[in-house]
Amino acid sequence: MGINIDGDNFLRSLDKAFGYINNSDKVYQVVTINPEMYAQAEIDSNFKKIIDEAEIVVPDGIGIKIALKLKGQNADRIPGIDYARRILEWCAKNNKPIAIVGSKEEVITKAVNNLKKEIEGLNIVYYHNGYFDNNDKIYEELKQANPRLVLVALGSPKQEYFIYNAKNILPPCLMIGIGGSLDVWSGEVKRAPQIYQKLGLEWLYRTVTQPERFKRIFPALPLFLWKVIKYKEDK
């Protein structure tokens, strides 16, 4: 359907990220794609270009996993929050400095404190809340801090644009758009129970517990699957 997704397994996708952090010669972008982002790419060609040029695109939503399955490809669903967490743990072990940008001030402060407590050796060299007007100031501060991993939680598509525009500015690093992950790490928002995660129903849990999401998620998921099925039939 015009978008390339790394239909890999979780561990291989992690290895790819570790490799980019180790040998980084430029800014690498990770997009964790879901059906809402696919819908956005359909109406916004600049956003589509960002996804096309991203070095890693992992299937975050269950909708994407089903789409790949319908095309005969078995891929692990890779929730961005788990992917980013594993990379944080790896950075702590391998002494790689990290930076985090996004979410409200109290949310990022709590998330940073919790992460430092939970992950031994984590070296957070810079963090900033996600409510700023001047991107250049944040890029400049990131440049000074010189992290190898930058997590960006501004919601989509804002975070993908922020990362893409950093590509020619920041020193080599891996940058990941992590959506609402800081809200979870801060303890402000509860993650869906394991059973929902296993059944691929995390979206249902989030829609029910955060009804404001319903408007966003509900049309995107069935519409996306309908398009996937239709696309298959047309071929």
Q: Locate tokens 């957070």: which residue? A: 124
Determine the distance from the C-alpha atom of residue 207 to the mean position of all C-alpha atoms in its chain, rounded to a whole number.
Answer: 19
* Contact criterion met (CB below 8 Å) for 224 and 35: yes
Exactly one of 10, 48, 52, 155 binds ligand UDP (CB under 6 A); which one? 155
Give the angle 96-97-103 at the CA atoms, nearest 5°: 130
**Residue 132 CB, nearest distance to ligand UDP (Å)?**
8
Provide the pairing of β-strand 173-177 with 56-59.
unpaired
* Contact criterion met (CB below 8 Å) for 171 and 146: yes
Q: Hey, which residues between 119 and 148 contact ligand UDP (CB under 6 A)?
A: 130-131
* Among the listed residues 100, 78, 70, the one whose alpha carbon sits nearest the alpha carbon of residue 202: 78
* Identity of the residue, 96 or 179, whose beta carbon is nearer to ligand UDP in the bound complex: 179
Rounded distance between C-alpha atoms, residue 59 and residue 77, angstroms:
6
* Identity of the residue, 96 or 150, whose beta carbon is nearer to ligand UDP in the bound complex: 150
Rounded distance between C-alpha atoms, residue 136 and residue 154, angstroms:
16
* Identity of the residue, 28 or 162, whose beta carbon is nearer to ligand UDP in the bound complex: 162
Given the rule CB under 6 A, which of 83-91, 97-105, 138-146, 193-201 is the region that contacts ligand UDP?
97-105
| 79 belongs to the binding site for ligand UDP (CB under 6 A) | no
**Residue 61 CB, nearest distance to ligand UDP (Å)?**
10
Q: By rule CB under 6 A, what string of x and - marks binding of each residue 171-210 to ligand UDP? A: --------xx-xx---------------------------
Q: Which residues bind ligand UDP (CB under 6 A)?
A: 102-104, 130-131, 153-156, 158, 179-180, 182-183
